[in-house]
């Protein structure tokens, strides 16, 4: 599933020209991307956990790259490449334990950067070819406070275990593994219920969604995890 999708890169860069150039080049190289123009926005986007790699500038408005990096690291293992403007900054990265995986110094060639991106994604397990292996390497799905361990079939919210039925669990882990992508009820019946779903009623999906919400959401009437995009389908964000 995830292996057929484009790798998604978060560009955190306040200089619009640089960000746009990077974005265009990444797109041409076959990557999906999003751009954040300051540190706070970068952190917020990074913590959604939907990126395969983060390109992080250091000198940023609102929150600098060192802090963004350290805060992302408390929650996620997404590879981070720090982009430094000066040699002193490079020394600082090496000296500080920010948790960055790699760094490049401006000005850099895009080919050099691309090579770093590839090797960092590969090292993180993101480019494994066999889906089974990749599922093993990434058996914990995290959506903010929600932690889904697909090896132990357990779910926790903010450290508290949540009991789910088999189908509730299947639905949650499927949507969490495909973060942000909405699925129609028909698609979910096919993907999550499989053979049974062939004979199923699409209302089965609604019922399971509402049960799941009552368990994972703090306030099921104001969902923070499981959303419904009207006319499109259900998704987790
Ligand atoms: Ca900058």
Which tokens sit at 26? Answer: 């990444």
Query: What are the phi and psi torsion angles at 220 (to 5°)?
Result: -60, -20
How distant, in Å, are the alpha carbons of 42, 81, 83 from that of 14? 10, 16, 12
> What number is the average pLDDT over the span 31-42?
96
Tens digits of per-residue pLDDT, 53-102? 999 999 999 999 988 998 898 888 889 999 887 777 776 666 566 778 88
CA 47 – ligand 1 centroid, Å = 20
How many angstroms does the Cα of residue 117 sit away from the middle of ligand 1? 19
Residue 48: pLDDT band (50, 70, 90) is very high
Compute, in angstroms, the gap from residue 14 CA to the centroid of ligand 1: 5
Cβ proximity of 206 and 173 under 8 Å: no
Query: What are the backbone dihedrals phi and psi of residue 3, each rounded to the nearest 5 degrees, phi first?
Result: -70, -25
Instruction: Inform me whether the pLDDT recorded for 181 exceeds 60.
Output: yes
Contact at 8 Å (CB) between 139 and 150? yes
> pLDDT at position 76, please?
87
- Predicted confidence at residue 234, as pLDDT, reads 95
Q: Per-residue pLDDT for 229 more than 50?
A: yes
Q: Encoding tokens for residue 72?
A: 């992302």
- The candidate with the shortest Cα–Cα distance to 188, out of 163, 162, 207, is 207
If we measure between CA atoms, which residue out of 127, 111, 126 comes closest to residue 25?
111
Beta bridge partners, 161, equal 156
Distance 13 CA to ligand 1 centre (A): 6
Rounded (to 5) percent helix, strand, coil in the chain: 45, 20, 35
CA distances (Å), 143 to each of 50, 146, 175, 232, 237, in order? 9, 5, 11, 21, 7
Cα(127) to ligand 1 centroid in Å equals: 29
pLDDT, tens digit (0-9, with 9 covering 90-100), for 101-159: 888 887 778 888 998 898 888 877 643 333 333 444 457 888 888 988 887 788 999 88
Ligand 1 centre and the CA of 39: distance in Å?
10
* Separation of CA 96 and ligand 1 centre (Å): 19
Quote the ligand 1 centre to 112 CA distance (angstroms): 19
Query: How many A from CA of 203 to the centre of ligand 1?
Result: 50
- Average pLDDT of the residues in 170-188: 90
Q: What's the 38 CA to ligand 1 centre distance in angstroms?
A: 9
Are the beta carbons of 235 and 182 closer than 8 angstroms? yes
Q: What are phi and psi of 156, to 5 degrees?
A: -130, 145
Peptide bond into 107 cis (omega under 30): yes
3-class secondary structure, 103: strand
Stretch (H or E) spanning 86 = none
Q: What percent of the chain has pLDDT over 90?
A: 42
pTM value is 0.52
Cα-to-centroid distance, 104 and ligand 1 (Å): 13
CA distance 21 to 223: 37
């Amino acid at each position: 599933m995830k292996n057929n999708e484009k790798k998604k890169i978060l560009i955190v860069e306040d200089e619009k020209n640089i960000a746009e150039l990077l974005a265009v080049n990444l797109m041409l190289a076959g990557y999906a991307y999003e751009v954040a123009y300051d540190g706070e926005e970068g952190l917020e986007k990074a913590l959604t956990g939907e990126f395969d790699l983060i390109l992080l500038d250091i000198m940023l408005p609102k929150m600098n790259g060192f802090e963004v990096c350290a805060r992302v690291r408390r929650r996620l293992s997404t590879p981070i490449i720090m982009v430094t403007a000066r040699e002193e900054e490079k020394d600082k990265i090496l000296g500080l334990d920010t948790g960055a995986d790699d760094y490049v110094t401006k000005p850099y060639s895009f080919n050099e950067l691309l090579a770093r991106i590839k090797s960092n994604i590969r090292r993180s397990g993101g480019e494994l070819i066999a889906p089974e292996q990749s599922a093993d390497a990434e058996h914990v799905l995290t959506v903010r406070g929600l932690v889904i361990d697909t090896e132990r079939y357990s779910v926790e919210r903010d450290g508290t275990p949540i009991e789910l039925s088999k189908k509730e669990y299947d639905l949650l882990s499927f949507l969490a593994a495909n973060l942000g992508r909405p699925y129609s009820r028909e698609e979910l019946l096919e993907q999550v219920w499989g053979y049974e779903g062939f004979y199923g009623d699409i209302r089965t999906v609604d019922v399971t969604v509402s049960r799941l919400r009552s368990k994972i959401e703090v306030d099921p009437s104001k969902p923070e995890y499981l959303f419904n995009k009207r006319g499109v389908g259900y998704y987790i964000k």
